[in-house]
């Protein structure tokens, strides 16, 4: 068995993948070649161009590590594998930009945020944590202006994705953040913050995220205004030391701006964050979210008002925001 593994080539691996006809068709479409071309690569009748091999590594994320290892063993292909590993951490593939633009053009308005966010976060995880050492990426959004001064008073962890030890989906752990948080600091000052060792940083404005050893936070901007922050946490110390990684976080934050409407962005004079209580105090409030949502829909119906789920959700979030802001006020 060990001899079989040792003798395995990248062509053998590709042959296993395209034995599934649907996967073969998907790969052909992704690579811009005919399905028969893939068969010829496997048999050795033809040789793929270097750019095709690099693209193959991109469109086979689950087999990527094994494919890289096999390419490194084959004479003449070692450089392709090495340069791909370096490029993975330095730039977003042009094909992904195309995918984002297509989604932007075709997604229904009410699904725009979720569609773009999901694509960006999954791509960011794939590139920033290719070896799944442990990473969480969250989008922390500004709550709509409220209160006597009609300003943004808090942030909400809106959507998040992770690799172990974090869950793959992080929405269930979302909470409100304010001036006490790193994200709040980034949004208020409108500039990124990079912490290479959170254990040694004694001036952090908030409690450390569980499992987090380093983090990079970038504001999501449009026309000099801010809608949110992209928060990337790693289980590794000094993970964001290479400039290639912080450059990628910046690029993904820029892409995330496409998920928002122009009116979701606020100038600095529209933002005045309050203090939000810690997670353990917030959790009981979130536990009643569903009952509050149902009450909101029922009350609207009794008053003859028409509310969709998005509108009703926002009303409940605003109510919880107000209650938690009051919770943090001194007696």
Query: Which of 61, 88, 115 marks a domain boundary?
Result: 88
| Residue 79, pLDDT score | 76
Q: Are residues 193 and 124 in the same domain?
A: yes
74 and 117 share a domain?
no
Domain boundary among 53, 88, 123: 88
Judged by average pLDDT, the poorest of 109-113, 140-144, 218-222 is: 109-113
Whether 200 and 81 share a structural domain: no
Give the bridge partners for 214, in sequence order. Answer: 234
What pLDDT is attached to residue 140? 97
Q: Looking at the structure, do residues 77 and 192 belong to the same domain, yes or no? A: no
**In the prediction, which pLDDT does 1 show?**
37
Q: What pLDDT band is residue 52 in, cutting at 50, 70 and 90?
A: confident
CB 41 within 8 Å of CB 66? no
pLDDT at residue 172, as a whole number: 78
Q: Which domain holds residue 70?
A: 2-88
Percentage of the chain modeled with pLDDT above 90: 56
Q: Is pLDDT of 204 > 70?
A: no
pLDDT tens, position by position, 293-312:
998 888 888 888 877 888 88
Tell me what pLDDT residue 73 has. 83
Do 178 and 58 share a structural domain?
no
- Do 283 and 157 form a contact (C-beta atoms < 8 A)? no
User: Do residues 168 and 58 both lie within one domain?
Assistant: no
Residue 86 · residue 78 · CB < 8 Å: no
pLDDT of residue 331: 59
Domain boundary among 35, 67, 88: 88
Model confidence at 7: pLDDT above 90: no
170 close to 161: Cβ distance less than 8 angstroms: yes
Question: For residue 3, what pLDDT band results from cuts at 50, 70 and 90?
Answer: very low
- Per-residue pLDDT band at 86 (split at 50, 70, 90): low
Do 20 and 139 share a structural domain? no
Residue-wise pLDDT tens digits, 155-200: 999 999 999 899 998 887 789 999 999 999 999 999 999 999 988 8
Q: What is the average per-residue pLDDT within 206-215?
A: 80
Contacts of 54 (CB under 8 A, 6+ apart): 80, 83, 84, 87
Q: What does 221-284 look like in DSSP terms, one character per residue?
A: EETTEEEEEEEEEESSTTTT-SHHHHHHHHHHHHHHGGGS-GGG-B-GGGB-------HHHHHH
CA distance 330 to 140: 26
Under 8 Å between Cβ of 203 and 197: no
Q: Are residues 242 and 116 in the same domain?
A: yes
Least confident of 34-43, 118-127, 167-176, 257-266: 167-176
Interior/surface letters 57-94, b for 16+ CB within 10 angstroms, e for the rest = bbebeebbeebbebbeeeeebeebbeebeeebeeebbe
Q: What percent of the chain has pLDDT over 70?
A: 92
Verify that 164 and 262 share a domain, yes or no.
yes
For residues 253 and 237, membership in a common domain is answered with: yes
Q: Which two tokens stand for residue 300?
A: 């609207």
Q: Are residues 192 and 299 in the same domain?
A: no
Q: Name the domain count of the chain.
A: 3
- Examine the domain organization and report whether 131 and 253 are in the same domain: yes
**Mean pLDDT for the chain overall:** 88
């Amino acid at each position: 068995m060990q001899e079989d593994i040792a003798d395995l080539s990248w062509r053998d691996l590709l042959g296993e993948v395209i034995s599934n006809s649907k996967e073969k068709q998907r790969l052909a479409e992704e690579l811009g070649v005919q399905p028969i071309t893939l068969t010829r690569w496997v048999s050795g009748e033809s040789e793929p161009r270097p750019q095709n091999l690099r693209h193959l590594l991109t469109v086979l994320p689950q087999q990527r590590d094994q494919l890289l290892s096999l390419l490194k063993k084959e004479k003449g292909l070692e450089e392709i594998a090495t340069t791909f590993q370096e490029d993975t951490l330095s730039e977003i593939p042009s094909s992904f930009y195309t995918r984002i633009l297509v989604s932007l053009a075709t997604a229904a308005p009410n699904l725009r945020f979720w569609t773009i966010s999901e694509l960006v976060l999954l791509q960011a995880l794939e590139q920033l944590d290719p070896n799944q050492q442990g990473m969480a990426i969250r989008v922390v959004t500004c709550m709509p202006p409220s209160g006597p001064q009609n300003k943004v008073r808090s942030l909400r962890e809106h959507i998040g994705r992770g690799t172990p030890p974090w869950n793959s989906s992080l929405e269930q752990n979302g909470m409100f953040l304010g001036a006490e948080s790193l994200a709040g600091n980034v949004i208020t000052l409108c500039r990124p913050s990079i912490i290479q060792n959170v254990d040694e940083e004694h001036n952090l404005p908030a409690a450390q995220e569980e499992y987090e050893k380093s983090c990079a936070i970038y504001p999501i901007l449009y026309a000099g205004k801010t809608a949110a922050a992209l928060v990337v946490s790693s289980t590794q110390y000094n993970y964001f030391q290479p400039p290639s990684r912080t450059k990628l976080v910046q690029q993904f934050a820029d892409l995330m701006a496409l998920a928002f409407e122009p009116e979701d962005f606020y100038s600095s004079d529209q933002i005045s964050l309050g203090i939000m209580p810690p997670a353990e105090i917030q959790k009981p409030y979130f536990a009643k979210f569903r009952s509050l949502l149902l009450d909101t829909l029922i009350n609207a119906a009794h008053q003859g008002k028409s509310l969709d789920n998005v509108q009703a959700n926002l009303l409940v979030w605003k109510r919880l925001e107000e209650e938690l802001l009051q919770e943090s006020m001194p007696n």
